[in-house]
Structure 1
Amino acid sequence: MTTRGRLRVVHVITTLTTGGAERQVELLAAASRHDVAVVSLYTGGVVEDALRARGIPVHVLGMDGWRKAAAVLRLARLLRRLQPDVVHVHLLSAQLWGIPAARLAGVPVVVSTEHSIMDTTIEGRPKSEWLRRLYLALERRTTETIAVSAETARRLRAWGVGTDRRLTVINPPIDFTPPETRAADRSAVRRELGIPDDAVVIGAVGRLDVVKRHATLVRAVADQLRRGRHLVIVGDGSLRADLERLAAELGVARAVHLTGPRGDVPALFAAVDVLVSASRDETFGMAVVEALGAGLPVVFEQCPALDGLPLPRDRARRIDRDLDAADEREALAEAVDQLVAGGAELRPAPDVLVDRYGTARTAAAVDGVYERLVTRCAPSASSTGAIRSTTQSQV
């Protein structure tokens, strides 16, 4: 433990390019009351840059190719040097290498957050029996698992994880930037993308993967794009070339903007008039919540984070996930038209979202998990007087 009772915490994640999990690590690291460093197993990127700009130490292992053979040993050596009280792993590859390395390095507390388990896949991989057994074997070597939503916890339990009560639900942090601070970004981002100031812009955020169903969105709004609207899709992935071909086939290539990974999603939100998520398989729905928090109206098919929350129809439209393909495209297009026609100005984030998902609240809850577990594993740690309790939902 560091001086003044502050813990040393090391987050281990697959990459620091872009994505919901990567952004969550950035926000948690920045808001933590402890001393935090971040390790990326494979590559750096825009989130690495953001972390360094915040003064947070980052270590990129570059673990591609043959280097994987020594990944556990390399990471264990780094952890011995950093001497963390807590290692917090995120995503499957980080679990695979990070959990054994942390135990080999003698780290007393190992926490794992599950971000992306679906009903039939986990991080895009089919849920096979051998993968379940591997996941359970790794999970048993952690001190506790955090699920980013109640839906994530349900899916984990259905897969056999968390049956021994070592499972905590803590919602991911969301950075609710006031809309007025982003007004200057609108014209600048549109100029960068080659979009006229007076055009209607539809936005989407998420990796270019089958589960995000960006192709469905392109087909749904193709007629609108032919009439002068634009579609901006933020993210990267294996389906980029397929989406480019689809846009060309539909005659809307000039109106579809694939930005790749970006570290300035709040600025991009300022350039958008409505955000759409056609995904039917989400554990949380971070992009939808962030867009609402940025003052945008949203159209979505699944967003567990919004389940049960009262949201006005001029801000959020949920599409029935059971519609067939043709009816779904029609419903998506109609919802976009209606929200755009409403012409609602950007608004501050609804209080219900800030109260539930604000960064300060989430970071305090995660810090509380660290403190509770370190105290349990090393009772003398509480003598510093700096280990404080916090509330989180035990499930």
Structure 2
Amino acid sequence: MSELLSLEEAQGRILALAPLLPLEQVPLTAMAGRYLGEDLRAARTQPAADLSAMDGYALAPGPGPWQVVGESRAGAPFARALAPGQCVRISTGAVMPEGADRVLLQEDAERAGDVVHAAQQPSPGRHIRPRGFDFRDGDLLIPRGARMTPARIALALAAGHAAVLAARPLRVALLDSGDELSADPSACGAHQVPASNAAMLAAMLAPLGCKVSLLGPVADNHTALAGALEQADSADILITTGGASVGDHDLIKPALARWGAEIAFWKVAIKPGKPLLVATRGVQVVLGLPGNPASCFVTAHLFVLPLVRASLGAAHPLPTTASAVVDEALPAVGARREFLRARRLGERVGLAGSQDSGALSTLAAADCLIDRPARAPALGAGSPVTIYPLDGG
């Protein structure tokens, strides 16, 4: 149980524990950031008719001139079919009248009274958005597991849907523990530090629409921890920070055992973040993160967010990577894979500051993590590296 797992093995084991949440109908207006629980197919054709792509004149076939016999505008189509030699004034997005086969641009039209000549003849089909060019009834538009962005919400609405299936919101309990933690950052003794991990984690979870409850900070004693854990009975996922290492006052493991949780594995071969703890209590999942802020953030990015995304139905829950070029030399890596807090400068990337796991100023300045494999040799400036973008840090 004390074996150090690789990043990928730990992620795989954690994703296998993801709670299966029931699906519910959700109005599309409330779907921002949530994951689609079904394949979304079009319930209508878009556009439903041939439309003009420009302002001008919808022309009947033939060389012209054309007699203007009416107008077609968006929301108010011309009601009759055109005869040869006829045209209608038309606006962008308006329905093409029956019998029209092209649109003469307004700037290419020469109009005298109700007669239109073409300074430049448009070819048949020109400046027309044909029926169904965007999508047709029954087309697969958005696959299950896709995250609903603003554009996807607009697409789903245009496809004739008012609501879609999505997993119910995930219930996440956050528990900071440690005698050194102060709940009030403005009243913090020299022997204390303000409790910040739970607030940081809550902010990381906010874009995913989780229902978050804060249970700490809690002192390092069995009674306080037991009382806090009782409040997590209804949580789908419990995330603890601090107290999961091997010190005399690291009490999370025995407290979880008394609560009824079973340790699945402990310790991952990464730096920062080695003392990651994973446990289960029935269908509940517990992730015990390190107490140092940088370690807490890195493990949350690599393990918590993927677990949450998988629980919510994401097709691709793992964090994304990118390539960059390091702008400074990096030393050789030891036995554990390292994740360096860094900042992108165009296509180059540099360290954001001290890599001490307690350095919050470095964490706040970082917008990516440099991924350095275990036992990797030293790198010179200009060398390629893999990074994990942090979407704002």
TM-score by length of 2: 0.28
Q: Which has the larger radius of gyration?
A: 2
Normalising by structure 1, report the TM-score: 0.28
